[in-house]
Each structure stands twice: as C-alpha cells, then as structure tokens.
Structure 1
C-alpha cells in the first residue's frame, strides 16, 4: 500500500488537487479524477480528502460568477458549463472540450455529503456553503434529469444514466446541507427507472454504470446484478475492462482495456457482500499491477500500457480494493 500511496503522491499538487497523470497528455486537473483520487482517504484522519475538496471549492469560488449566470439560465455553449478540466493552478483552459459533464458536479456534491457523514470538516466558511447551494441550483437550471451531456468519458451528447445517477446521489447526499426540493431528486429517479440498466439510448452497457453501485450505492441489488452481468459479460477483457462496445479511444490499434475496471468491479462486488467475487477481482487487479505501483490508464490489446502511466484514478481504485481485501491500512 505504501508504494501505491507514494505513486499517488507524485500526482498530488501543492493546492491539494491531483493531476490525472504524470504524462504530458494528462497533466491537467479533472474535477472527477480528483474526487476519485481521495476516496482512499475518506476513512482516514489525514487531511488529503478535505484538502482536495477545499481546492475544488476554491475552483468554484473563482468561477462563482459563472455559477451565478447559469443558476438563472441554461448554458448555450459547452464552454459556458462549469469546466471539466483545468490547468494545475485550477484556471480554465481555453481549447474546446466536452465540458458538459454533469456527473462531475454530482460526484462533488456526493463527496461533500460523504465527508460530513464521516465527521470531516468540509466547509471552511459561509462562502463554501453558498457555493454548495449554487451547485444544487446549477443542476436544477440544467434540468439534469433530461440534459444531454458529454458523460464520464467526455464524448457524445446524450442523456447518460451514470450522469443522472451521480446527480441523484449528490443531491441526496447534501439534502441536509442545502435546500434540495424533493422533486429535483424524484425527476432524476424517474429517468433512471426509464433508462437502466442501459447507460443511454446508444449504449446498452458502459463501465461508467459501475459508479451507481460503487461509490454511490444508488441502485437496488437486482439492478446492480444486472449492471454487473452486462459489464462482465460484454466488456471485461484479459487485462482490463473496455468502456463500452466499439469504443474509438485507441481503436485504431486494438481495444483499450482500462485497468481500473478490475478494482472497480471488485469494489462493486464488495458492496454487494460477495466477498469471493471481490477477491477474484483483486487477483485480476494484481495481474495488471506493476511492481512499482504505477498502474496505467489502460493496456492496448493486452500487454502494452499506454502513455498515461501512472493514472491517478487507477492507482486510487487499486488502493481501495487492496484495503478491502487485505485490510491493509492506507498510509497517512
């Protein structure tokens, strides 16, 4: 665990956020990646969890003017959304990007709620609390339950169950911390009933759907089993899990087998109390875990890792499953 922690530390910035990777291609800060990076520290006494959220609160404070606009009117262009990725100093990047990623906002809200639930000091002052309310209002203005967004993989615009689910989970988590009308959650729940177990109109199964099981624990056992059956049956490969059928990322070579798919599946089975399956996916995770702990983003056609090595998200998911299986403490 110490090795994995040390690798993750190489991607931790002075401001408390994390770069997605040490590679030049991924030397940016994604809201989503930051939250997943600090999940191993949620149950520890170290400050990495709160430091990361304070960094993200500072990011939202810098762009509070954008929140103020888009709690009143929907964004008309992608750049008007709260951006998905940033420079290391948490300033916006100007190049075009698929910034409509409602799941990242839902994940942030969920992370704040979870932090409070386990006793962490998630708010520094009244401004942080006001930002939280504005993020809730932002999702309301977007009409997240029927909003086309770029989804977890930052691609085609459609209604994604994983994005809607993240928002539902986030709104539920902060219901005691902000004003969240019941109908705002119920609208998202209705969409999920219509979509699941599909990810979207175009995708029957998608790796992103695992988030509805872990960390959100949003679906019931029967739906969780259906989602897992689809993913393991359709998307699991030898060295990882493809994101969805006919994924074009690295497709000009061979299928991209994402490393964090194995520990993520393991954590999902752990949530369901299926310890034997969780251990089986720890064994599979160890197969793609290098001795130096630098877990790649993915393997291309099996044995060749891509350049985004290590990927912070992959390292964090590996830490989570290792602790789950071995009971080894997370270093602080």
Structure 2
C-alpha cells in the first residue's frame, strides 16, 4: 500500500537521536524545529516511538541551550543569534552561521506538539526537567512579547509581525496550559493581535501559505476567519504544481514564484477541518499529481518550470501528503461500509 512507502521515506530521514533531517538533499541536511513538528504529525493519534522520540530529542536539545533560554526569559534578544535557534546540525548543535533565527512560530509549534501530543496520550513528558523546559519556553515567549514581536516567520525571511507566528504561539500556549503556568492574559494578547492583523499575514503580505497553519493543525481561528484564509490562499496562491508561498516570492523564482508541493494536501486538510468534504476531495488528484511512485515528494517546483528543486524528498511534504490522502481514504472506506 502507498502509505507504507511514505513511512519508509520518512524513516530514511529519521536520525539516530530521534530527530528528523528536513530532506535527504545536501542543502537541507539540517534539523529544523518546525519541520520536525510537521514531519511527525502522521504519528500523533496513536502511541508512537517516532512521535515521542522526536520530542525527546528536541527537549534534550533545549536542555543543552537552557542557559540561553534562561537569559532570554528576562532579557529580550537583540541579535538574531541570541534567539533560540530555529535550525541545528544533525547532532542538534547550534551552527555559527548567520541565519533568520527569530522564528517565534517554531517555539509555538514545539509547545503545541508537546501539549497536543500529551493530550492524545503520547509520552512526550519524561520528568520534571521536561516540564521546566516547557515553562521556560512559555516565559521566553512572554519576554519576547510575541503578540507584537517582529520575527523572521515560517519562511525565515524579513523581520515583521507575522500572523502565522502569533497564531502558532497562541496554539502552543493553549496546548501547554494544562502542564505549566500560562497566564490567561498572555493568550488573550495573542488572540487580540491576531484579530487585528488577520486576514493579512503581515504588513507586506496580504495573504500567505503560512496562514493555513491557523486552520490546520492549530485551529486558532473561528470558522468565518478560517474560510476567508483558505479561500484567499486557494484563489490567489494556488498554481499547477502546488501553492506559492506569497506573491512575488523570489525563492527559486525563474520568471514566476516557486510552487510548493505541500500546499495541495495542506489546503485539502484545511477544507476537511471545515467539514467541506466536496472541496477537500478536489485536492486528492492534485496531491496525487505531486506524489511520485516512490513517495519522494519534492519541496517545490522551480517557478516557471516543470522541474522540482533538489530538496527532494522534503520530509514535511511527504508527511502532509500522507496525512491528507490517508484521511480521505479512511472517509471513503467509511462511506462504503
């Protein structure tokens, strides 16, 4: 069955420490916090070593840099290297390379994955120390004033206030308030900021693929706002081989914006969240079109071409395609029975 192939591809990107490399390409032989959160989503609903060990690896990594978290629970980072890094070597060490490390959504994503995993019975928390790390990350987001903080966002680019980053933090804080102390006001400030910024992603971007995260997996917007986000992304950003991240995106742009493969299953998953099964089903064929027989789903198709880029397979693309097609297949089976 095709689903086994998907898991086999993901397993090839699984490291001995439990984390995942973002891709098997030379360019992406790193570990991103956010990529791991999305890569292990297929395993969240049933007890899974893959899910649990990935989070234990990230907890251990945060322990290595606990001294840094301690500093910035009280003192806002100024330089990018002072932020909790978003990207690490495969042995989970910081790298002394300039990078857009101010990615508040990555911290929100981690907290969400811990809290949601815990709620669903995953043994993500091992001991008191893990709980301490969660609390310190909550304090870090408070110190950053995440609800009004400029960051590099999901795409690691220019510093501005991103709705997708605020939403990830709101989701993360909500998810861990059962485990640690999260002031209600800390969540409220994020929710208010989100209301004021949406439906825009940021000052410079009217819409953005990253906004889909507020619908799936985070579910931090109401139905009307979710519909607006999904319909705008679909109508403005959808292309032949995937979904562009935003208009005038220059990454892998050769005459037009690069088309990201995981955009198709992501839109499908959002329509499923909204109970719009007829719309979701439109994305089955679109998703199958970007999933090759060997399940090595690319990151993107280079803008203006029919060629995928070298970051193939991308773990995140494989995981999202797998989740969506599996869910649609399960729904079809239920209808038959």
TM-score range, shorter chain: over 0.9
- What's the CA shift for 1:46? 2.4
TM-score, with length taken from structure 1: 0.97
- What's the CA shift for 1:254? 3.6
CA distance in 1, matches of 2:272, 2:232: 18
- What's the CA shift for 1:120? 1.5
Say if 2:46 is the partner of 1:17. Answer: no
Which residue is equivalent to 1:296? 298
The equivalences for 1:44-123 within 5 A come to 44-123=46-125
Q: 2:199·2:225 contact (CA, 8 Å) conserved in 1?
A: yes
- Deviation digits for residues 176-202 of structure 1 (CA, Å, limit 9, x no counterpart): 111000110011111101100100011
CA distance in 2, matches of 1:302, 1:321: 26
CA distance in 2, matches of 1:101, 1:135: 13
Which secondary structure state, in structure 1, belongs to the residue aligned with residue 40 of structure 2?
A: helix
The equivalences for 1:186-265 within 5 A come to 186-265=188-267
- What's the CA shift for 1:327? 2.0
Could you tell me which of 315, 320, 328 is aligned with 2:323?
Answer: 320
* Unpaired runs of at least 5, structure 2: 332-337
Which residue is equivalent to 2:145? 143
TM-score, with length taken from structure 2: 0.96
CA distance in 2, matches of 1:316, 1:52: 14
- What's the CA shift for 1:253? 4.8
Could you tell me which of 172, 182, 185 is aligned with 2:184?
Answer: 182
- Deviation digits for residues 49-78 of structure 1 (CA, Å, limit 9, x no counterpart): 111000000010000000010001000100
Runs of 4+ with >4 A deviation: none
Could you tell me which of 27, 30, 36 is aligned with 1:28?
Answer: 30
Q: 1:296·1:310 contact (CA, 8 Å) conserved in 2?
A: yes
- Deviation digits for residues 69-112 of structure 1 (CA, Å, limit 9, x no counterpart): 00010001000000010000000011000000000000000111
- What's the CA shift for 1:302? 4.6
Q: 1:263·1:285 contact (CA, 8 Å) conserved in 2?
A: yes
Greater shift in the superposed pair: 170-179 or 253-262: 253-262
CA distance in 2, matches of 1:239, 1:307: 15
Q: 1:239·1:302 contact (CA, 8 Å) conserved in 2?
A: no
Which secondary structure state, in structure 2, belongs to the residue aligned with residue 269 of structure 1?
A: helix
How many equivalent residue pairs?
A: 328
CA distance in 2, matches of 1:123, 1:97: 30
Q: 1:161·1:199 contact (CA, 8 Å) conserved in 2?
A: yes
CA distance in 2, matches of 1:296, 1:11: 14
Q: 2:47·2:121 contact (CA, 8 Å) conserved in 1?
A: no
- Deviation digits for residues 267-303 of structure 1 (CA, Å, limit 9, x no counterpart): 0001011111111112100011111100000012352
Q: 1:20·1:313 contact (CA, 8 Å) conserved in 2?
A: yes
Greater shift in the superposed pair: 236-245 or 301-310: 301-310
* Unpaired runs of at least 5, structure 1: none
